[in-house]
Structure 1
C-alpha cells in the first residue's frame, strides 16, 4: 500500500492511477492524516456496472428498503427456534 499527500498526488496523478490499475492500493493523506483510499475496481463491481449499463439491473444508489407491510402469521422466529431446541 502506498501513501501519498494531496499535493504529490495532484502533481503525479497519472502515475498513481497506473499503480492502482496494476492492483496497488493508494492511501491519500492530508497533512499526514489519512483521508481516502483509492483501490482497483473489483471484478464484481465491473459485472454489476455492466448489468446496469445493459439495462438488466437497476440500483438507486441507496440501501435496500426491505419489504414493507409484510405480516407474519404464527409465533415469532425466535420462539420457534427455542421450541425446536427443547
Structure 2
C-alpha cells in the first residue's frame, strides 16, 4: 500500500479511522504544514504476543477461534476391596525404593 499523508489536525479528528487502516496494513505519514513529522505503521507480527497474533489472524478471517468444550467432571474413584488406595500407593512406592 502507498503511504497516506495527513495533517496533524485531521489526524487527531480521524485517529480511529486511521488506526483501522493501519491494522489493514496501511502506512500513515503525519505532516505539520506539509512537512513529514511522524509515521504510523502496523506493528510487526514478531512484536505481538501469541494471543495478539492469533487474534489478528481471526480478525483477518484466516483462522477461526476454537469452540470451548465443557469440562466433564471426573467420575468417583473405584472402590478397592479390603484395602484403601493409599495403602496400595504406599506399597507401590516402597517397592520403587528397593
CA deviation after TM superposition for structure 1 residue 46, in Å:
1.2
Residue 11 of structure 1: aligned partner:
13
Aligned residues: 49
Q: Which runs of 5+ in 1 are unaligned?
A: 51-86
In the alignment, structure 1 residue 24 sits paired with structure 2 residue 62: no
Provide the C-alpha distance between the structure 1 equivalents of 2:49 and 2:15, rounded to a whole number of angstroms: 26
Q: Which runs of 5+ in 2 are unaligned?
A: 53-98
How big is the alpha-carbon RMSD for the aligned residues of Structure 1 and Structure 2? 1.7
The TM-score, its normalising length taken from structure 2, stands at 0.47
Q: Deviations over 1:19-41 (max 9, x none)?
A: 00000000000010000010000
Provide the C-alpha distance between the structure 1 equivalents of 2:31 and 2:44, rounded to a whole number of angstroms: 23
SS of the residue aligned with 1:15? Answer: helix
Q: Considering only CA atoms, is the larger Rg found in Structure 1 or Structure 2?
A: 2
